[in-house]
Amino acid sequence: MRYIIYGAGGIGSSMGGHLQRTGCESILIGRQGHVSRIAESGLRLITPQDTYCIRIPAVTSPKAIEWEPGDIVILCMKSQDTEEALRALIAAGADSCNLPIFCAQNSITNEPAATRYFERVYGVVVGFTGIYLEDGSVHNPVEGNAGYLEIGKYPTGIDTLVERLESDLQKASFAVTRNRNVMAAKGAKMIGNLGNALNAISDGRGDSQHFLERVREEGEQCLSPAGLPLENRAELMRRAKAKRGVNRLPEGMRNLGSTWQSLTRTQGSTEADFLNGEIVRLGKIHGIATPFNRVLQSVAGEMARAKESPGKFTADELYRMARH
C-alpha cells in the first residue's frame, strides 16, 4: 500500500511525514515551492518531541505518479480546491472504481463531491494542528501524540480498509477512532470550524464569544432540516479530548486556524465558501436567515482576493455588520 497525500499543507505534510517516517510508503502532492524544497533537503517536520528531516517523494501533479494497485489517496487540500483535484486524479488515470479516496478535510461538502468521480469514498475527522507557513517545513505542535483522527466509510460504515488505515496511523503516532457514522462527527466538526473565518478576519481581536454562538447556532439550524447527519458537538469534543495530545506551539509562533494561515500566506482564497458558504446555501433552501455566516463568507472572500492580511475587522465590528 502507498499513501498518496494530495494537498501537502500543514495537515497533509504532517500526516504524510509521520506515515513515511514509520515505514508506510507515502507520496506528497503539493505546491511547487514546497515540493522543490522537499526534493532538495527533505521535509522538515517539527514536533514538540523532535524535529525530523524526512526523505519523502513529492510531486506537483497526480500525472507524475505511476498508479499501482493498493494505492490510497488522502485528500488534505482546502475544500475550494477539491473539485479541481478530483478531476486531476481522473485525468491522471486514477481508477475511479477501485482507488479509495479519504477526505481529511474540514467541510462536509468533500465526500459528496468525491462520489461523483470515485466509487470508494471515506470520511476523516481531523483533530490536530498542522502549520505550514514556510516551504519545506511544517509544524505539528502536538505533545503526547501527533493528533486525533476519526475515520469511516461514506456515508456510513466500517470496512477492512478503515481498520488498516487505523493501524498505520496509530503506528505513525496518531490517536485514531473508527466511526461508522463519521459524517455525523464531521458535521459537528464543521460547526466548530464555522469560526475559522472569524479568527482570520479579526486576527483574534475583539470579543468573539457572542459572534461564535450566533454563527454556530445558524449552522445547527441549517443542517438539521437538510437531513444531514449531525451529532452533539460536545460529544465529539469529549472523545477528542480523551485521546488527543496537547498543543505546544513554539515560543513566538501564532496560529488561529487554517483560514488564518491562508490569509497569512496570501493564497488568494479561503475555504469560507465551503464552511460558512455552505450554511448560507442551506439557509437559502430552507428559509433560515444566516447573516452571521454570510458576513464571514463575504469578508473572508474579499480579503483573500485582495490578499489582505488578518486583522481587518474586530469581532465586535463584524457582529455589528451582521446585525445590519
Helices assigned H by DSSP within 195-288: 196-202, 209-223, 233-243, 258-264, 276-286
pLDDT tens sequence across 82-105: 999 999 999 999 999 999 999 999
Pairing of strands 246-247, 142-143: antiparallel
For 154-168, b/e burial (b = at least 16 CB within 10 A) is: beeebeebbeebbeb
Residue 218 confidence (pLDDT):
98
How far is Cα 130 from Cα 127, in angstroms, rounded to an integer? 10
Predicted pLDDT at 324 = 85
Of all residues in the chain, the percent with pLDDT exceeding 70 is: 100
Mean pLDDT of the chain: 96
pLDDT reading at 306 higher than 90? yes
Q: Tally Cβ neighbours within 10 Å of residue 289.
A: 12
For 149-159, the pLDDT digits (tens) are 999 999 999 99
Q: What is the C-alpha separation between 82 and 105, in angstroms, rounded?
A: 9
36: nearest Cα among 77, 14, 8 = 8
Residues near 298 by beta carbon (within 8 Å), at least 6 away in sequence: none
Q: What is the pTM of this model?
A: 0.95
Once rounded to an integer, what is the mean pLDDT over residues 189-213?
Answer: 95
Q: What residue type is assigned to position 214 of the chain?
A: R
Write the burial class of residue 323 (CB in 10 Å: 0-12 exposed, 13-18 middle, 19+ buried): exposed
What is the C-alpha separation between 290 and 322, in angstroms, rounded?
A: 9
Please tell me the distance from the alpha carbon of residue 45 to that of residue 16, in angstroms, as a whole number: 10
At a CB cut-off of 8 Å and minimum separation 6, what does 246 contact?
142, 143, 144
Task: Kindly indicate the confidence band of residue 133, based on its pLDDT and cuts at 50, 70 and 90.
Answer: confident
Q: So what's the pLDDT on residue 85?
A: 98
Contacts of 267 (CB under 8 A, 6+ apart): 304
Pairing of strands 71-75, 2-6: parallel
Least confident stretch, 160-169, 172-181, 238-247, 253-262: 253-262
Q: Which residues is 29 bridged to in the sheet?
A: 6, 59
